[in-house]
Amino acid sequence: MIRPAVFREAACRAQGISVADLLDLHGRASWPALLLVLALLSALPIAGVGTVLSLPLFAVAARWPQGRSRAGPRGRAALPPQVTALRLGETWSRRCLGLLAALYERARLTLRRRWAHWRHPSTHAGWRLWIAAMALLILLPLPLGNLLPGISLVLLALGWIYKDGVALMLSTLAGAAAMAYGALSAHLLWAMVQAAGRWWAAA
């Protein structure tokens, strides 16, 4: 099981950490751990990171959940070298490591094996589509548009790691809110385009 102390210790000495370093801290990381790292970084308010990481998220979606296999070298091969080499500054490295430690610490206390039907093999195709849908929302250039889909994927990854269907249910709620926000943003943008067209025609 993933130990939060590993991330707290790394945060104390972090001077800049890469995606590859984050994966190394997970040991022989599983595919859910790989998803969690990508989703967490995508949700950070750092310009351009969500766009860069949305494409590897599509690759994870295509391979989800790979049964009981570990991500290992094969999982990392799903990430382009430019992604694994992506390095955070000292401040964001400490914040990211601290957040990972807090997530795993809280998860160990609150998440447990339950509602197994949410992870039934018959749901795997649906979760692949779900991850792809969240990756698409992260890719779209919406103000704060990365946050809700990123949270949805973090919850999905934690739910899979700890075999907790409640976390998976919360993932769908956060994702539904992300879709609603995306639809509302698209509606407002279209209304603005129409208003600008009417103004141009009347000018």
Which tops the pLDDT comparison, 82 or 151? 151
Task: Using pLDDT thresholds of 50, 70 and 90, give the confidence band for residue 75.
Answer: low
Residue 70 has pLDDT above 80, yes or no: no
How many whole angstroms separate alpha carbon 31 and alpha carbon 68?
9
Task: Using pLDDT thresholds of 50, 70 and 90, give the confidence band for residue 16.
Answer: confident
Residue 68 has pLDDT above 50, yes or no: no
Which tops the pLDDT comparison, 12 or 162? 162
Q: Residue 132: which domain range?
A: 4-202
Residue 44 contacts residue 99 (beta carbons within 8 Å): no
**Number of domains, the chain:** 1
Overall average pLDDT of the 185-199 stretch: 88
Q: What was the pLDDT predicted at 170?
A: 97
How many whole angstroms separate alpha carbon 91 and alpha carbon 158?
25
Q: Where is average pLDDT lowest: 1-5, 93-97, 149-153, 174-178?
A: 1-5
Q: What was the pLDDT predicted at 72?
A: 53
**DSSP letters spanning the chain:** ---HHHHHHHHHH-S--BHHHHHHHTSS-BHHHHHHHHHHHHHSS-TTHHHHHHHHHHHHHHH---TT-B-HHHHHHTS-HHHHT-B--HHHHHHHHHHHHHHHHHHHHH--SB-GGGG-GGGHHHHHHHHHHHHHHHHS--TTTTHHHHHHHHHHHHHHHTTBHHHHHHHHHHHHHHHHHHHHHHHHHHHHHHHHHHHHHH-
**DSSP letters spanning 92-113:** HHHHHHHHHHHHHHHHHHH--S
